[in-house]
Amino acid sequence: MAGVHELTVRYGDITVLKNFSAEFPDGAVTAVSGRSGCGKTTLLAVLLGLLRPASGTVTGFQRPSAAFQEDRLLPYLTAVKNITVAAGCTAQAAQDALRQVGFDSADSEKNAAALSGGMARRVALVRAMLAEGDAVILDEPFKGLDELTRTAVLRFVNENRRGRTMVVVTHDPRDAEDLGATHFVRM
Amino acid sequence: MTLSTIRNKKVKSKKQEAIATLCAVAFWLFVWHIVSVAVDSEIVLVSPLNVLQTLWTVLRDPSFLATVGYSASRILGGFFIAMALGVTLAWVSSRLWVVETLLRPITAVIKATPVASFIILVLLWFSSRNLSMIISMLMVFPVIYTNTLKGIQSADKKLLEMARVFHMSAGRRLLYIYLPAVLPFFVSACSVSLGLCWKSGIAAEVIGVPGGSIGELLYNAKIFLQTGELLAWTVVIVAVSVLFEKLFMFLLKRFVEKLGMGGALHGGRA
């Protein structure tokens, strides 16, 4: 069972998380929710190994991949190249995946800087899902997607979970339900 | 107004700007000519026509290429050494704060010290043959170093975190995250440095007077009051400096485009 135990995280004098514990069952989807500023993104940073807690332990999450709240795409690379460079998959696999989330071949070859917000979000999600690893962490995955696109992306995410542990931060209970969340962490 | 009309207007205005610049140059050449006629002294103010005649003589001189080659090899040698050193030390400084702290006063001192002081010091320590190389290297190093370091430090932290999460190799981080961040700083540093290395290198040659250099000829022109020679060689220096800058920038852009990172030079839309 992956999880965090008695986690305390501070930014200077400000304590963001104090003695926080949560469990993320292996192979299951856990939805994390809470009001703005409660430390959800901080928790994800700890799970991803980007932030060292002041105290407490993290178990599991040996090699997680992620779709961050911001898309964090390499602006001078094409959508396909953004996926292959980070996820380590073939260009063909990236193109197939992008097609499944509504990209045509011309869009796939556009530089990330030229993509719309919704397109960039989809590239970030495809990158997270195609990367190898033991867990996937998604921070507000469907933010900015229209209903039709959301359906295609949801299908893609569910088809490519490959039994990995998934942590999803979301304000929308529908996201948790559609992704098949079985565990909930309220912060 | 359609997009093509706006584009045509832009092209037209650029053309107009070029014509206006040419007219301005012609105007000042004309003023120069009139003043030189009024002064009527080839020593105090030589006429532009006389400079052109002297330039033609200089260009036909059998030793012209050897003289330019002597100065260019040393000045540009200094530039390339400074570039390699500046980029390497900027990278080391970005990793080790001790190195950055140690280099900070050195770069500040080099920037603030008059080039003449360095020239005299270097003449005391080394022979005048490599003086222009050492001086151009000294002048260029802080510009390349500080700009490259700024570029490295401006690399997007969020992209670096993404690279860490996805276990991107050091080579890929360098190529896809650091290179685009450094490029704008590096390109502008090179543009400034290429002019700077010629100015400081020739100044060093005029003071050190190494045999067979452009500086030696400028020095002789001063001693023998050959204003025409002085200005003709100045035109040569400016032309070689501008030509090399254009060539270097062209090759740099081609190299970056070959790496597939042309977008970093063209605002993200390659």
User: CATH no. for residue A100?
Assistant: 3.40.50.300
Task: With H, G, I as helix, E, B as strand and everything else as coil, classify residue A31.
Answer: strand
Domain membership flag for residue B212? yes
How far apart CA B176 and CA B68 sit, in angstroms, is 39
Q: Tell me the per-residue pLDDT of B177-214, one tens digit each, with 9 for 90 and over.
A: 999 999 999 999 999 999 999 999 999 999 999 989 99
Statement to judge: residues B4 and B97 lie in one domain: no
How many independent structural domains does chain A possess? Answer: 1
Residue A7, domain member (yes or no): no
Residue B92: inside a domain, yes or no? yes
Q: What is the pLDDT of residues A125-138, one digit of tens each?
A: 999 999 998 899 99
Calpha distance B235→B237 (Å, rounded):
5
Q: Is residue A20 part of a domain?
A: no
CB contact (8 A) between residue B159 and residue A76: no
β-pairing, A165-169 with A135-139? parallel
Residue B270 lies in a domain: no
pLDDT tens digit sequence for B77-124: 999 999 999 999 999 999 999 999 999 999 999 999 999 999 999 999
Q: Tell me: do B82 and B142 sit in the same domain.
A: yes
- Nearest-neighbour CA in chain A from B257: distance (Å): 11
Collapse the DSSP code of B40 into the 3-class scheme (helix H, G, I; strand E, B; otherwise coil) and give the result.
Answer: coil
* Co-location of B255 and B144 in the same domain: yes
pLDDT digits (tens, 9 = 90+) for A31-85: 999 888 888 889 999 999 999 999 999 988 889 999 999 999 999 999 999 999 9
Residue A164 lies in a domain: yes
Domain total in chain B: 2
Q: What tokens appear for B77 in the block?
A: 């040698």
Contact status of A113 with chain B (Cβ, < 8 Å): yes
Nearest to B263 among A68, A76, A131 (CB): A76
Same domain, B147 and B195: yes
Strand pairing report for A2-11 and A14-24 = antiparallel
Q: Do B79 and B163 fall into the same domain?
A: yes
Same domain? B1 vs B122: no
A76 vs B161, B168, B264: nearest CB: B264
Evaluate whether residue A139 is within a structural domain: yes
Regarding whether B10 and B104 lie in a shared domain, the answer is no
Pair (B8, B71) in one structural domain: no
Task: Indicate whether A16 belongs to any domain.
Answer: no
Q: CA nearest A127 in B: which residue?
A: B166
ipTM of the complex: 0.92
Domain housing B78? 43-264
Tell me, what's the pLDDT at B12? 64
